[in-house]
Amino acid sequence: MEIAQSCHHYLKGVTMLPNNYKRKYRFRTDTSKEKRIMNITITVTLIILFVLWYLIN
């Protein structure tokens, strides 16, 4: 019962977001933490590609 209530509350919060809050939320995802995660992901991907290229050659 508690899970259903929390799920309903979450869905209600998602469906009733005002447009300006949605706009703020959309830009809020572009934080320094997310940029850091993207940089780490790109760096790790490049390192893996370089190691694979080195092993193939």
Is the pLDDT reported for residue 20 higher than 60?
no
Alpha helices per DSSP H over 1-57: 2-15, 19-28, 32-56
Kindly give, in sequence order, each residue whose CB lies less than 8 Å from that of residue 25, ignoring residues fewer than 6 positions away.
17
The domain of 13 spans 2-56
Count of the separate structural domains present in the chain: 1
pLDDT at 53: 96
Q: Cα–Cα distance between 29 and 25 in angstroms, integer?
A: 7
More confident residue, 13 or 47: 47
Residue with tokens 């809020």, as numbered in its chain: 28
Kindly give, in sequence order, each residue whose CB lies less than 8 Å from that of residue 17, ignoring residues fewer than 6 positions away.
25
Identity of residue 10: Y
